[in-house]
Amino acid sequence: MKCPFCGHLQDKVVDSREGKEGIAIRRRRECLKCSRRFTSYERIDEPNLRLVKKDGRREPFNREKLMAGLMTSCKKRPVPTGALEDICNEVEGLLQESVDRELATEKVGAYVMQRLKDLDKVAYVRFASVYRQFEDVTDFLDELKTLMELKKTEDSSEKERDRAVRPEGTET
């Protein structure tokens, strides 16, 4: 494997571990020339995983394209890269489990948006703006209003739960 630091083609494997859910093997390698360490991942080649576009076209699933979109949405946000890798793994798993080994892009987009909404609201709005093709500021405002209403609902549910747990006659 080519060293990403010096370009040398010889290395040794220092450590191998099975990745999450057995989808990949993670290998720590050490370059025999510069002695720097780097990580590589080995995956089963799944050329039959496909996405069905809105216009009916089918195209191969491109994990790197999904990861690039997630990275763009999360740029300068406190979202760990591992969490984005997990989303990619989950989408890949959904494709592998589907009967035809293909999914509509609407399903994939909805799934990714839900996961981003749980991780980081700003990244979610960024992703949604591209995925849903926001055309002007009112589209952003509508989405932000929906998020704010959801937060109010969650906050009031949390307060109700706290009241139910608190013994009678105690104040906060």
Given a cut of 90, whether residue 4 has pLDDT beyond it is: yes
Q: What is the rounded average pLDDT for all residues in the chain?
A: 84
Q: Which pLDDT belongs to residue 142? A: 76
Query: Taking the chain, what is the end-to-end CA distance rounded to the nearest angstrom?
Result: 61
pLDDT digits (tens, 9 = 90+) for 26-61: 899 999 999 999 999 887 765 588 999 989 999 999
Given a cut of 80, whether residue 79 has pLDDT beyond it is: yes
pLDDT digits (tens, 9 = 90+) for 9-26: 999 999 999 876 677 898
Closest C-alpha to 20, from 84, 65, 78, 73: 84
pLDDT digits (tens, 9 = 90+) for 122-169: 888 888 777 666 677 777 677 777 777 777 776 666 666 666 665 555
Query: What is the model's pTM?
Result: 0.58
Closest C-alpha to 105, from 62, 74, 142, 47: 62
Alpha carbon distance 11, 40 (integer Å): 12
